[in-house]
């Protein structure tokens, strides 16, 4: 079926350049568009017969006995995707308008195909928005419904994907970066990308599904993807994204929400330009522990150590910093001293003081070492109240959201991810 309004726009535009009347009829023979507008709504018997009898053309001669509503001319069926959807007629002598009628038919069929493709794209974008809404914002979405919608959008729901969140310069709009994402040679049709109301470009990137060297290959895929996107930004003369942060890989659609929330937490907590989720898993899990648990385990020990005092000018916080660096350096006083800019003996003194205060030996006992790591981490967060975690990962600066959207709260394990989809 040809839309009446679209058909009339076509006739008006086409007839502005030719001296002949053009009619468009539907499959029932009713004229739905014409240069001679008084004919609109009248019945065209020849056009109707052409459709019913599946003819390739109907030429009406000037000397023929003409039914009401029919004038001499050439009438041709209009097809769209293999189906007759109407008839095009050009009034005049067949000798004069025969070739013109075929050109008009080609033009209107091309227009119909273009409009159909545009509508399909719009429908796909609508489906994609709905898919993202089900994936990331709707509670208790039906997994079968989500998987079916993903397949209709052209996405294989079984592929493993990793969320990548881009932190962008404030001077450039996110849609410019989304365009760069889609043009990047590392971006595929199976990669789900969108811009949220917070301004972050997000990509659920398909990663290698491998059985060996798993994290190494995924990290390399991330590095390659970011490098290709950087190159595309340079080609487009865009400032490079400030940072990339990822969440854990998922091959089940219902887990995408939690993975994206993790990526946002890492984006706000980390400092690496390319922050790979595996490098932050330890901190993520620790900061998912409820505050009451930390206080229950460590507050008494902390109070007793503060009351015991630390000799000289060194503070308990300095002891904690020294221990954290020692742990990073595999409990080597020499390497820790180099990192801290201290004398080796100073580091040894502080380690001995920690041992005396706690009654633990982190050098020989790995459980003692991990206990002190957790303790001094708790001390650091107590010393910086803004860093004390809520019921989940530590709260981070929250990007702006649209008024109708729930603000992002990466701290809560049940909070939806921070942005509503806005697709390019």
Q: Judge contact between 119 and 62, C-beta under 8 A.
A: no
Q: Judge contact between 83 and 41, C-beta under 8 A.
A: no
* CA pair distance 347, 253, nearest whole angstrom: 49
Per-residue model confidence as pLDDT tens digits over 193-217: 998 656 789 999 999 988 888 999 9
Closest residue by Cα to residue 27 from 4, 55, 50, 57:
50
* CA pair distance 422, 203, nearest whole angstrom: 12
* CA pair distance 246, 65, nearest whole angstrom: 76
Domains of the chain: 4-120 (3.30.450.40), 159-281+415-422 (3.30.70), 291-387 (no CATH)
What average pLDDT does this structure show over 13-17? Answer: 83
Asked if the model's pLDDT at residue 119 lies above 80, the reply is no
Closest residue by Cα to residue 73 from 101, 45, 54, 41:
101
Kindly state the tokens that stand for 121.
Answer: 């794209």
pTM above 0.75, yes or no: no
* CA pair distance 6, 33, nearest whole angstrom: 9
Per-residue model confidence as pLDDT tens digits over 140-195: 888 998 999 899 889 999 999 999 999 998 877 898 999 999 999 999 999 999 98
Q: Supply φ then ψ for residue 308, to 5 degrees.
A: -70, -30
Give me the helix-helix angle, 344-358 and 291-308, nearest 10°: 110
Per-residue DSSP letter, 311: S
Q: Which residue has the higher pLDDT, 172 or 50?
A: 50
* Whole-number CA gyration radius for the chain: 34
Provide the pLDDT for residue 398.
37
Share of the chain above pLDDT 90, in %: 48
Question: What is the dihedral sign for C-alpha 204, 205, 210, 213?
Answer: negative
Kind and range of the H or E element at 383? helix 366-383
Per-residue model confidence as pLDDT tens digits over 244-287: 999 999 999 999 999 999 999 999 887 889 999 999 998 888 88
Which SS3 state, helix, strand or coil, does residue 11 take? helix
- Polymer length in residues for the chain: 424
Q: Judge contact between 247 and 260, C-beta under 8 A.
A: yes
Contacts with 298 (C-beta within 8 Å, 6 or more apart), sequence order: 374, 375, 378, 379
């Amino acid at each position: 079926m040809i839309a009446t309004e679209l058909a009339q726009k076509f006739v008006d535009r086409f007839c502005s350049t030719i001296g002949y009347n053009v009619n468009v009829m539907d499959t029932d023979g009713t004229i739905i568009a014409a240069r001679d507008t008084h004919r609109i709504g009248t019945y065209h018997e020849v056009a109707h017969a052409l459709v019913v009898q599946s003819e390739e053309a109907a030429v009406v001669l000037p000397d023929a006995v003409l039914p009401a509503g029919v004038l001499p001319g050439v009438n041709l069926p209009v097809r769209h995707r293999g189906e007759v959807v109407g008839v095009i007629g050009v009034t005049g002598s067949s000798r004069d308008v025969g070739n013109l009628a075929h050109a008009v038919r080609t033009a209107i069929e091309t227009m119909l195909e273009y409009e159909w493709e545009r509508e399909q794209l719009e429908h796909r974008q609508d489906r994609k928005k709905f898919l993202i809404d089900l994936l990331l914002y709707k509670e208790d979405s039906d997994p079968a419904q989500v998987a079916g919608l993903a397949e209709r959008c052209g996405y294989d729901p079984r592929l493993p994907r990793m969320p990548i969140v881009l932190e962008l310069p404030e001077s450039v709009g996110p849609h410019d970066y989304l365009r760069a994402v889609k043009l990047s040679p590392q971006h595929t049709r199976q990669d789900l990308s969108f811009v949220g109301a917070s301004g972050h470009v997000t990509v659920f990137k398909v990663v290698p599904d491998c059985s060996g060297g798993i994290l190494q290959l995924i990290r390399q895929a991330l590095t390659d993807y970011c490098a290709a996107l950087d190159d595309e930004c340079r080609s487009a003369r865009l400032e490079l994204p400030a940072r990339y942060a990822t969440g854990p890989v998922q091959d089940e659609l219902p887990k995408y929400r939690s993975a994206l929330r993790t990526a946002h937490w890492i984006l706000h907590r980390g400092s690496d330009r390319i922050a790979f989720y595996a490098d932050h898993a330890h901190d993520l899990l620790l900061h998912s522990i409820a505050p009451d648990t930390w206080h229950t385990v460590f507050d008494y020990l902390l109070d007793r150590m503060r009351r015991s005092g630390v000799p000289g000018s060194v503070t308990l916080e300095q002891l904690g910093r020294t221990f954290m660096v020692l742990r990073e350096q595999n409990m080597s006083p020499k390497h820790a001293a180099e990192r801290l800019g201290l004398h080796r003996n100073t580091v040894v003194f502080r380690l001995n003081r920690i041992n005396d205060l706690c009654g633990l030996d982190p050098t020989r006992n790995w459980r003692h070492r991990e206990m002190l790591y957790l303790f001094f981490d708790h001390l650091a967060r107590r010393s910086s109240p803004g860093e004390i975690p809520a019921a989940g990962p530590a709260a981070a600066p929250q990007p702006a959201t649209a008024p109708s959207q729930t603000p992002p709260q990466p701290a809560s394990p049940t909070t939806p991810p921070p942005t509503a989809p806005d697709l390019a």
